[in-house]
Structure 1
């Protein structure tokens, strides 16, 4: 069996039972748009990150560096919005070749 046989959500289902170390403060674990952790009596943190991989989620030659950055933020911010939270910080995960020009990345 390969990952392509079970897909992303099948993989998440397989690893979820072993991933929650402190279920007391985990309000929503992996498998949803984002994870939600209680950090106080009336406070929680919503965390998410989606990795964009070249030739899977984008074609570098078909977009500017700015557009790639925008897309990377958009996919993550939409997950936070889906959880009803207001973004305060962002993680950016982009799988891009090391031969990519600094000018492209600076954009």
Structure 2
């Protein structure tokens, strides 16, 4: 299953709920304000690193928020084409807002 998260983990419980619900075969894409979780040395990186699911962050939203020089090297960054490619691998999607 594909999960998408758009809310900042600092203002919403969506990312936590998503991480708790996801499984090893799932993929998660964080975009819009959710990319804040990619900032280096924040409390979410350990949970992201330990997730069973594969997690991606949308590059365009990282750039739009001025975070390119602040993100962790532990994360997987994708562009819009990567978003489409990952989406096409899944028959179902669950959006966490």
TM-score, normalization by structure 2:
0.29
* Larger radius of gyration between Structure 1 and Structure 2: 1
Q: Relative CO higher for 1 or 2, CA cutoff 8 Å, sep ≥ 6? A: 2
TM-score, normalization by structure 1:
0.28
